[in-house]
Structure 1
Amino acid sequence: MLRIDDHNRFAAGFTYVYPVLSRRAGGVSVGINLNPNNACNWACLYCQVDNLQRGGPPPIDLAQLIKELASLLDALLAGAFVVAGGQAAALADIAFSGNGESTAAAEFAPAVQAVCALMQERKLEVPLRLITNGSFLHRPGVQEGLRHIAAQGGEVWFKFDRGSSDEIATVNAIAWPLERAVAHLAQCAALAPTWVQTCWFCLDGAPPSAESLAAYCAALQPLAAKLQGVHLYGLARPSQQAAAPRLSALSAEALEAVAAVIRKETGLKVIVSP
């Protein structure tokens, strides 16, 4: 049975694809994991990947990926996966996500193109999504992949957790200047419909400060007209990182209060997933 609190990438027995019950997708998301080695260039405090390591993905076997995706889609259509209540799982989207940064893969653009071809062959009318930290937007191959996603009618969910370089360094464990994060977000939005995705939580018992929220809004406001909105979410599943004991979830009410400020200060649509 698929559950919101369990996103095991290997439960279905595949290397590259996996089904999860997603709060934000609103149903069953078929994930494409281009990082089966659990390697990422970031190490976010809240990351749910066990045995996460720094680095990039191994070479990707595109033929195997597409074979696995076709097989998993067949299984979903045959009712092999169920959700709470015993109901057959319905497909909500296909998403490049997984155990690291998908766009780090040298085969990212060909993988997107192959997935698009399979979706067109099967006449799948569900969104194709990319969940990304945006750090490789400067690569021509990544830009090509985003164009394929846009042509398929898909979208990007771009990780943007905080509005200052210091807080990005703390939350995402990466030296990533705010100016570069904003520039890559703007570039992404110019290539494909783009949502910001932001994880808000308490660190050492304290929620992000009012100053932190103000800096976050100030960073996004100039791009508001180019963005689809914000996916604001909390800690539905436990972190598997060393910082896990320092993290605690904000209440649904607290997240809604944060969302209200973002809406007021930026004009952006905000969807909250506690």
Structure 2
Amino acid sequence: MADVIPLQPVGAPTVLRTDDHARDSAGFTYVYPVISRRAGGVSIGINLNPNNACNWACVYCQVPDLQRGGPPPINLAQLEDELRAMLTQIVHGDFMQTRVPENARRINDVAFSGNGEPTMSPEFGAALVVVERQLASFGLLGQIKLVVISNGSQMYKPEVLQVVEHIGRINGELWFKIDRAPQDGFSAVNQVQLKRDAVARHLVAASARCATWIQTCMFAVDGQLPDEAELAAYVQFVGQLKQQAPGLHGVLLYGLARPSLQPMAPRLSAADADWMQALAARIATQGLEVKLSV
């Protein structure tokens, strides 16, 4: 174990909030606790991109100083020490009483999320082994969810799909980002080149190995919500994916809960709750379960 890692990560008892997912709230490099509005409890984040680098640059992203690129090498011993310390605080310490609102005092999941695309890390598989080992040591393996939040861009790589399959065997889920129906060309929302067939192939391959949810963020730009053509294309696309991918469980539909930290932030605004509910009902007509967070 690395001897520079504090075993007591929690300092002043600042209560966690759903609108603040700061990655340094525990004073660690790789591990951070948040209150997830979608999960309804404490989510322990694993950040394999502490350099704030990602291969996408979504306009609504809340990562500060986001840059293009991949993750740095991961110190796996440090990751394990941090996770052990965090779980000790949650399971055996007073973390829930001092840091978590009363209505969210449950540990829901461990999530590979962080400040970039986690599946780009060469240590993704080794980091999963670390997480699995620590969950087992605290009696949590199979009792709580293991989540990977991904843009799906690396799901053509055999080594990544192998890790995804492992996640599926240990009560894991993949949250696969599709914000709009992909067209062959540039995505204005994700600021990246996308190919429709590639997105579909990646999702089908991943969902065959692990329970998969589509994750979609909807919002207005300059006061204008997605128009009917965009919505129809999106609903049609996710409906086609449902037919192609039996492992696709549904859609996690959400709006802007925290402000973007990207250049387009002043132009973005949240969608009305009634509009979001109507879209959720429309998606459900495709045979997909929809979990809505507004």
Number of residue equivalences: 272
Distance 1:107 1:52, change over 3 A: same
Structure 2 segments unaligned to the other structure (5+ residues): 1-14
Distance in 2 (CA, whole Å) between partners of 1:150 and 1:106 is 19
Distance in 2 (CA, whole Å) between partners of 1:138 and 1:182 is 11
TM-score by length of 2: 0.89
| Displacement after TM superposition at 1:165 (Å) | 2.1
Distance 1:167 1:213, change over 3 A: farther
| Identity rate, percent | 50
Contact 2:42 2:104 in 1 (8 A): no
* Root-mean-square deviation over aligned CA pairs: 1.5
Distance in 1 (CA, whole Å) between partners of 2:210 and 2:111 is 14
Report matched runs for 1:93-112 at 5 Å. 93-112=109-128
Aligned counterpart in structure 2 of residue 79 of structure 1, from 91, 94, 111: 94
Report matched runs for 1:257-272 at 5 Å. 257-264=278-285, 266-272=286-292
Which has the larger share of helix?
Answer: 1
Report matched runs for 1:34-45 at 5 Å. 34-45=48-59
Distance in 2 (CA, whole Å) between partners of 1:234 and 1:40 is 21
Partner deviation per Cα, 1:15-66 (whole Å, 9 max, x = no partner):
0000000011111100000000000000000000000000000001111111
TM-score by length of 1: 0.96
Report matched runs for 1:92-241 at 5 Å. 92-124=108-140, 125-165=143-183, 169-225=187-243, 226=246, 227-241=248-262
Distance in 2 (CA, whole Å) between partners of 1:73 and 1:147 is 25
Structure 1 segments unaligned to the other structure (5+ residues): none
| Displacement after TM superposition at 1:204 (Å) | 1.3
Provide the residue aligned with 2:27 in structure 1: 13
Distance in 2 (CA, whole Å) between partners of 1:25 and 1:167 is 33
| Displacement after TM superposition at 1:168 (Å) | 6.2
Contact 1:116 1:148 in 2 (8 A): no
Partner deviation per Cα, 1:104-137 (whole Å, 9 max, x = no partner):
0001011112211221222201000000000011
Distance in 2 (CA, whole Å) between partners of 1:112 and 1:143 is 13
| Displacement after TM superposition at 1:80 (Å) | 2.2
Letter in 2 for 1:122: F
Distance in 2 (CA, whole Å) between partners of 1:88 and 1:217 is 32
What secondary structure sits across from 1:95 in the alignment? strand
